Amino acid sequence: MPHRAASTLGGMDRRERRWAVLVSAVAVVAVALPGIRTLASPGAPDGFPLSTYPMFTRDPGREVDQPTVVAVSPGGDVERLSPGTIAGTDQVIQAGVAVRRAVAGGPAAAARLCAEVAGRVAAPATVAVVVERHDVVAWSAGDREPLDRRTVADCEARG
């Protein structure tokens, strides 16, 4: 085996060199392409792991509508449910997407989600699929009551 102490490219044959350049070119173009597509069209879809990185780019505004699912106890207390209870996931954003899609899907889809969540609620309560409107700045300052709460579907959890 030849000694390679003096090599820089000396250890690489032509095939290895081509491979390195090819892999690098493909990787660079693949990672950069979503960015170029974003420049050309703001509607370019996101992907993984080649992403347009659209998170935190747009202003959601000061007042936002946030769909969620809550449990209302017989005493009238509103309890927030976890992403696992809402959508069987540990990811809060995916739980939010599941609720948003159910709300957008109309009363039947919201009722299906409601029944699914009710099956995961441990105590007797009324489960409600709601859309809450909040002033995000006021909420951050401690005003936790929504400006508006609209119930899209509700159902009973037997616990």
Largest Cα–Cα distance in the chain?
83
Q: Return phi, psi of residue 143, to 5°.
A: -85, 95
Q: Which stretch binds another protein (CB under 8 A): 18-26, 121-129, 151-159?
A: 18-26
Distance in Å, CB of 15 to another protein, minimum: 11
Q: Would you count residue 32 as binding another protein (CB under 8 A)? A: yes
Distance in Å, CB of 33 to another protein, minimum: 9
Q: Which of 94, 111, 147, 150 lies at the binding interface for another protein (CB under 8 A)? A: 94
Q: Which of 72, 97, 115, 147 lies at the binding interface for another protein (CB under 8 A)? A: 97
Q: Which stretch binds another protein (CB under 8 A): 121-129, 133-141, 150-158?
A: 133-141
Nearest CA to 63 out of 141, 130, 146 is that of 146
Q: Would you count residue 21 as binding another protein (CB under 8 A)? A: yes
Q: Is the CB of 88 or the CB of 124 nearer to another protein?
A: 88
Would you state the torsion angle of the CA atoms of residues 90, 96, 102, 106, taken in this order, to the nearest 10 degrees?
A: 170
Q: Can you tell me the distance from the alpha carbon of 9 to that of 13, in angstroms, rounded to the nearest whole number?
A: 8
DSSP characters over 17-56: HHHHHHHHHHHHHHHHHHHHHHHH-TTPPP-SSS----TT
Q: Which of residues 60-89 bind another protein (CB under 8 A)?
A: 60-62, 64, 66, 68, 80-83, 85-89
Q: Would you count residue 132 as binding another protein (CB under 8 A)? A: yes
Q: Would you count residue 136 as binding another protein (CB under 8 A)? A: yes
Q: Would you count residue 90 as binding another protein (CB under 8 A)? A: yes
